[in-house]
Amino acid sequence: MTEDRFRRWLPPRKGIRLLDIGCGTAEEAGELLASGKVADFLGVDLDERAIVEAQARWPEARFMCEDAVRLSPEAVGRFEVILIRRPDLLAQPARWHPAFLRLPVLLR
């Protein structure tokens, strides 16, 4: 079901690099990778426990415990798709604003 929710938003080709900011335990990672469109999934979150759990669940994906504001294309590359689905976006806009400003340098 998750795949269907996100699949329609993915570019219509294979080999997509996808960055999931605030991924938590990355509930969608397996389904997105299994879709055949996403070749490289990088999940980023500040919660170290969530990252450890996500990496254990989805060993074919990559995960980092990092602040999205500190991501650089030199360190992580560039992506065709960036997902951000955090419920605290509206509750903490000042915290998320710098991350949004950083997105253009991370896109292909």
pLDDT at residue 87, rounded to an integer: 64
For tokens 């074919």, the residue is 60
Query: What percent of the chain is predicted at pLDDT more than 70?
Result: 94
Query: What percent of the chain is predicted at pLDDT more than 90?
Result: 57
pLDDT at residue 1, rounded to an integer: 43
Q: Would you say residue 2 has pLDDT above 70? A: no
Q: Would you say residue 103 has pLDDT above 80? A: yes
pLDDT at residue 63, rounded to an integer: 98
pLDDT per residue over 24-64, tens digit each?
999 889 889 988 899 999 999 999 999 999 999 999 999 99
**What would the 3-class secondary structure string for the chain be?**
CHHHHHHCCCCCCCCEEEEEECCCCCCCHHHHHHCCCEEEEEEEECCHHHHHHHHHHCCCCEEEECCHHHCCHHHHCCECEEEECCCCCCCCHHHHHHHHHHHHHHEC
pLDDT per residue over 12-21, tens digit each?
889 999 999 9
Q: What is the pTM of this model?
A: 0.89
